[in-house]
Amino acid sequence: MKRILTITLNPAVDETSSVGSLQPEKKLRCSAPVFEPGGGGINVARVINRLGGRALPLYFSGGNSGKRLTALLAEEDITGLPVEIHGETRENLNITDRSTGRQYRFIMPGPTVSSAEYLSLMQAAQAEMDNTEYLVFSGSLPPNGSQGIFKTLAETAMQKKVRLLADTSGEGLREALEAGIYLVKPNLGELAALTGCETLLEADAVSAARGLIRQGSCQVFVISMGEAGALLVTADISEKIPAPIVKRVSTIGAGDSMVAGIVLALQRGQDIHAAARFGIACGTAATLNPGTALCNKEDAERLYGLMNTGSKCR
C-alpha cells in the first residue's frame, strides 16, 4: 500500500511544563519538562502512525534542535525525512498554570529558509510522489513565506494523481487552492479570509465553501468549529457533524489529530462522511490529554463508535 506523505515547513520541538501559578517578576518553579516533536505535518504523521497507518513526515531540520526533533520521532518508531537547513529549528514552550488550569503557549517564529533549501525539499517531495497516495500540507510557514512551494507541489500531486489535503492558512493555503487540491480544513475565520470577508457566520459558511469549490479550488471542505464539531461541504453534500461531548483537558493538537483521522480513513477506503466523522473523533480524543499529547487510538476508536451509535459521549 502507498503511504501518506506529510510536509512541515516550520517544525518545532515542543516543550511542555507547568507552574503552581503564573506571577510576574518571580522565579517560577516548573515541573519536569516533556519534549515532543511538533509542527502540523509532524503531528499528523505521529497520529497516523499511532492509529496503525503509515506516514512519512518530510520537514526542514536545522541545528541541534533539528537533530533533537529527528531523535524524538525515532523514539516513536517514526523514520522522518529531514531536509537540512542553515537556520535552527524552533522550540516552542507550553506552560500550564495549575492554579487556574489555563494553558499559555509561547510560539516562536522559526528560521528563514533559503530558495536553495526550498528547492531541496521540493525535490525530496517529488521523489516520494510515486509511492504516495495522499499528501498533507499542515502547519505554519517560515517567516519568509512558502517561496511558491505549495503551488508547485500541488501541481505535481495533480499530475501524479496524489490527493492533497491542506491544513494551513494565509499565503500557503491561497497558493495551494490556486492549483486545485482535494480537501482543505479551515476554521470559520480562515474560510472568511479566503473569501475576503471580515467575519463569516456558520449559516454562510456552506455557500462560501461552495463558491470556492465551483472555482475548482478544491473538492471538499471540512470546516472546523471546535467543540461544536465541523461542517462537511462538497458540491453535493452539506452536513454538520457534532463533536462528542467530553471533558476537555487541552485543545493543543486537536486540529492535527482531526486531519490525521480524515486522511487515514480515506486511505482505508472509507467515504468522506465516515472519514470526516472519524477525524472529528480523533480531534476530540486529543482534547482528553494534557499538553501536546495528541490523541491515542483507544480514545479515538471509542468516541467514533459512540458517534456511530448515537450514544452520549462524555
Can you tell me the mean pLDDT for 259-280? 96
- The answer to whether the beta carbons of residues 249 and 212 sit under 8 Å apart is no
As annotated, the active-site residues are: 256
Give pLDDT tens digits for 239-255: 999 998 888 887 888 99
pLDDT at 149 over 60: yes
- The answer to whether the beta carbons of residues 272 and 266 sit under 8 Å apart is yes
By CB atoms closer than 10 A (0-12, 13-18, 19+), residue 174 is middle
Nearest in space to 33 (alpha carbons), one of 313, 301, 291? 291
What is the DSSP-derived secondary structure letter of residue 245?
P
pTM: 0.93
pLDDT at 313 over 60: no
| CATH class name, domain 3-17+32-310 | alpha beta
pLDDT at 37 over 80: yes
Phi then psi dihedrals of residue 34, to 5 deg = -115, 130
- Cβ neighbours of residue 286 under 8 Å, at least 6 residues apart? 250, 251, 252, 253, 254, 256, 257, 258, 293, 294, 295
- pLDDT at residue 150 in the model: 87
How would residue 172 be classed by pLDDT, with cut points 50, 70 and 90? confident
How would residue 32 be classed by pLDDT, with cut points 50, 70 and 90? very high
Higher pLDDT, 88 or 2: 88
pLDDT at 314 over 80: no
CA angle 42, 229, 172 (to 5 degrees): 40
> Which grid coordinates belong to 80?
522522518
- pLDDT at residue 117 in the model: 97
Can you tell me which residue has the cell 495551494?
Answer: 176
pLDDT at 291 over 70: no
Q: Where are the domains of the chain?
A: 3-17+32-310
pLDDT at 311 over 60: no
Give pLDDT tens digits for 198-241: 888 888 999 999 999 999 999 999 999 988 899 999 999 999 99
Mean pLDDT for all residues in the chain: 92
Measured between its terminal Cα atoms, the distance across the chain in Å is: 36
Cα–Cα distance measured from residue 278 to residue 143, given in angstroms and rounded to the nearest whole number: 33
- Cβ neighbours of residue 75 under 8 Å, at least 6 residues apart? none
By CB atoms closer than 10 A (0-12, 13-18, 19+), residue 298 is exposed
- pLDDT at residue 312 in the model: 52
- pLDDT at residue 247 in the model: 85
- pLDDT at residue 309 in the model: 73
Helices (H), 115-215: 115-128, 149-159, 170-179, 188-194, 202-214
Give pLDDT tens digits for 293-304: 789 999 999 999
